[in-house]
């Protein structure tokens, strides 16, 4: 007998797919989603996901092993599709028999889905449009995350509420869809479940959990911030199609504008390829996020955060956060 029967029933397909008590994923957050937070999420009945980010295969290998030492529950690994060693990283996942791989950051390159399915792992994909979602689900994606522009980190242009209305009626009968972006309370979870989602993914709400290794200054910046402080970066040069990033406003936001000008200049003078220009931008983000999360430089680093940051008020254990979300969802469903 579960404490949250109505929510658990609506999450049933998501829970079965993830192998968890609750169909709540903690989305991968570079530097934040490492062994401690990931294992805490999974131990609390959610689904933790290691953020591989720019890690080398050796580092990923060590991180998976260390996470396994801290939890016997299922967890996943998030790989960025444009990582130059994507296929080596997939091999590392295969060696560890990782059960779920999340492919983020763009269209999965040819052969990547097949390489993951070859060791029987489930593949979770992101898709910004319905047409691409259908294509990825046809070509081997086992589940889909739709993520709205309220989210922290790299974002698309469309809000979660609109994506949910576009994707869920069309896909939820035959496919597993998780909703992400802007979720801070369980009432929102209940709403998306009723629309056909099988679960949800949150990042911002978990970033400052007690078990998160984020620097105390990073956490304090989250506790102080409100929704309107979490702004999307702007594109300064139309030739450089940078993916917008939502983060708390600080000096780092201005540095990013300067970085874009510098990289756009390289396109002119050194004739570097567009893919190289984009990689430079992504390396910039990885470095800036590290400065904030690990070093606590909240002025110059990147404080990636979603609009739900205003609902993050204090450090709380992961189990309490998950308990609150489930209780709020259950209470909302009970009122229907
Ligand atoms: C600090 C931070 C870092 C993130 N890094 C990544 C990442 O490396 N890869 C990724 O796929 N998503 C990343 N995300 C997005 C999260 O996985 C998640 O989808 C998102 O936070 C959900 O929206 P929410 O922030 O509104 O809860 C990041 C988000 C935050 C807040």
Q: List pLDDT tens digits, range 7-28.
A: 999 999 999 999 999 999 999 9
Give which of 302, 78, 315 is closest to 212, Cα–Cα. Answer: 315
Q: What does the alpha-carbon distance between residue 9 and residue 311 come to, in Å, rounded to a whole number?
A: 26
Q: In this predicted structure, what is the pLDDT of residue 116?
A: 98
Q: Is the dihedral of CA 316, 148, 333, 225 positive or negative?
A: positive
The reply to whether ligand 1 has any atom less than 6 angstroms from the CB of 189 is no
Tens digits of residue pLDDT in 68-118: 999 999 999 999 998 999 999 999 999 999 999 999 998 999 999 999 999
Residue 36 has pLDDT above 70, yes or no: yes
Whether the pLDDT of residue 1 is over 70: the answer is: no
- How much distance in Å is there from the Cα of 269 to the middle of ligand 1? 34
- Ligand 1 and 203: CB distance under 6 A: yes
- Sequence-distant (6+) residues with CB within 8 A of 335 are none
Distance 46 CA to ligand 1 centre (A): 16
pLDDT given for residue 91 in this prediction: 98
Which residues have C-beta within 8 Å of that of residue 268, sequence separation ≥ 6? none
Q: Is 40 in the pocket of ligand 1 (CB under 6 A)?
A: no
The burial class, CB within 10 Å (0-12 / 13-18 / 19+), for 34 is buried
Nearest-CA residue for atom 16 of ligand 1: 27
Q: What's the CA gap between 152 and 177, in Å, rounded?
A: 19
Q: Model confidence over 267-298: pLDDT tens digits?
A: 888 778 888 888 888 889 989 999 999 999 99
Tell me if 155 CB under 6 Å of ligand 1.
no
Tell me: pLDDT of 29 over 80: yes
Whether residue 51 has its Cβ less than 6 Å from ligand 1:
yes
Does the beta carbon of 201 sit less than 6 angstroms from any atom of ligand 1?
Answer: yes
**Smallest CA separation from ligand 1 atom 6, residue:** 29
Q: Which residue's alpha carbon is nearest to atom 20 within ligand 1?
A: 203
Q: Residue 209: which pLDDT band, with cuts at 50, 70 and 90?
A: very high
Token pair, residue 307, equals: 């609009």
CB atoms within 10 A of CB 335: 8
Mutate to test the pocket of ligand 1, among 79, 149, 152, 182 (most ligand atoms within 8 A of CB): 152
Considering only residues 241 and 151, tell me which one the structure prediction assigns the higher pLDDT: 151
Q: Tens of pLDDT along 126-136? A: 999 999 999 99
**How confident is the prediction for the chain on average, in pLDDT?**
96
Give yes or no for residue 48 CB within 6 A of ligand 1. no
d(CA 4, CA 8) in angstroms, rounded, equals 6
Q: How far apart, in whole angstroms, are the C-alpha atoms of residue 302 and residue 246?
A: 9
Mean pLDDT of 200-218: 98
């Amino acid at each position: 007998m579960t404490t949250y029967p109505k929510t658990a029933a609506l999450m049933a397909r998501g829970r079965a797919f993830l192998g968890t008590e609750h169909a709540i994923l903690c989305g991968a957050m570079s530097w934040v989603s490492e062994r401690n937070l990931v294992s805490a999420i999974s131990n609390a009945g959610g689904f933790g996901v290691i953020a591989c980010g720019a890690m080398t295969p050796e580092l990923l290998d060590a991180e998976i092993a260390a996470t396994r030492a801290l939890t016997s529950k299922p967890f996943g690994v998030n790989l960025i599709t444009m990582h130059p060693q994507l296929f080596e990283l997939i091999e590392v996942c295969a060696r560890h028999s990782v059960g779920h791989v999340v492919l983020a950051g763009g269209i999965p390159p040819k052969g990547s889905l097949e390489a993951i399915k070859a060791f029987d792992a489930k593949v979770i994909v992101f898709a910004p449009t319905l047409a691409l979602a259908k294509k990825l689900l046809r070509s081997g994606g086992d589940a889909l995350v739709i993520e709205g522009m309220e989210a922290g980190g790299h974002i698309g242009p469309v809000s979660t509420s609109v994506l949910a209305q576009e994707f869920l009626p069309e896909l939820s009968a035959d496919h597993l869809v998780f909703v992400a972006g802007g979720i801070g309370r369980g009432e929102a979870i209940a709403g998306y479940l009723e629309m056909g989602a099988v679960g949800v993914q949150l990042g911002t709400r978990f970033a400052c959990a007690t078990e998160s290794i984020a620097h105390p200054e990073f956490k304090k910046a989250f506790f102080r911030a409100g929704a309107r402080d979490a702004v999307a970066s702007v594109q300064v040069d139309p030739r450089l199609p940078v993916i917008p990033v939502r983060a708390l406003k600080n000096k780092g936001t201005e540095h990013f504008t300067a970085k874009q000008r510098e990289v756009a200049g390289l396109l002119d003078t050194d004739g570097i390829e567009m893919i190289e220009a984009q990689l430079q931008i992504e390396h910039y983000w990885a470095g800036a996020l590290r400065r904030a999360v690990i070093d606590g430089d909240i002025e110059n680093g990147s404080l990636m955060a979603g609009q739900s940051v205003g609902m993050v008020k204090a450090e709380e254990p992961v189990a309490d956060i998950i308990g609150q979300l489930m209780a709020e969802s259950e209470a909302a469903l009970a009122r229907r």
